[in-house]
Amino acid sequence: MLEDGDGHIDFGEPDASQAIDGDLANVTWFPQESDDTPFWFYKAINAVKIGEEDKLPSGMTSSYKFKLEDNKPVIFNTGVHHTYLPSHGVGLEFLRRLTKGRNAKYYSTIGGMVIDCDERDQYEDVSFSLDGKWIQIKAEDYLEEYDGVCYIGLLIGEYQVYTFGTQAMNGYYTIFDNSDPDNARVGFVPHATSTKSVLAEDDLPSDSLWNVYWEHGYLFQVYQNNPDAWWANRAVFKLLSLFNYWFW
C-alpha cells in the first residue's frame, strides 16, 4: 500500500542508490526458514522494547525478552498498512505497557488503543527483535488519526503471529528476494534519506516478560512509591502482585 507518494515499488535487481550510504552491504537479511514456509514468513520475534531508556515514564520496564514458548513468528506483508500483534496476551500486554499512565482506552472492536490526540508527542518509538536484530517503528508512523480520532496503529490480530505491514517498513528499503527459490530471503536497510539505523545485532534485554509482568498490578505502584521502605522487598511484591493478578 502506497500513500501520498511516501513509497514506491521496484521490480528487478535491488538498487543500491536507494539504501543508506548507497551500499547494499548494509542490508540485514532474514532467510526463508524451511521449504514448508513462504520466504516472507520469519520464525520468531524474541524481544520488544519501547523507547531508548531503561524505564518508561510510568516507571515500568521498557524492554523484555520472551521465553521460547512465547516467541511468535512474523509475516512481512506489503498488502496491509498496520502492524498486527499476536492475539495471545503478549500483544495486549505490550499495548498496556505502552499506554500506561496515558489517556488511552482499548476497544476490542478495532483491536487497538484509542488515545488522546494531545498526547501524541509523548509516545516513544518501538522496536522488535528478530534474533537480536532490531526493526524500529517510529511513533510518527504507528500513531494514526481517522476522522478526528487518534489511535495506535499497532493492533491485536486474529492469529498467533506478528504482521509487519507498510507501517513497519517506513524508513527502510525492503527487499523481497526470491531470485533463488532455494535461498529466498527478505532484507531490511534504512533507505537513502532515512533517520533509522542499520539493523545491527544487539544483546537481548536481561528481563523476561515473566519478570516484568507484575508491573501491571496495583502493588507495583505501592512498591514504586515506597522503594526505600523497610518492607518494600521487590521479590515479595512481585510474587504478591502476580498472585493477586492470576487469582483475583
pLDDT tens readout for residues 78-106: 889 999 999 867 899 999 999 999 999 99
Average pLDDT on 142-168 reads 93
Locate the DSSP E strands across the chain.
28-31, 41-45, 47-50, 63-65, 72-76, 83-85, 104-107, 112-115, 126-130, 133-137, 143-146, 149-152, 154-156, 162-164, 172-177, 185-190
Domain 25-203 is found in CATH 2.60.40.10 = no
Query: What's the whole-model pTM score?
Result: 0.85
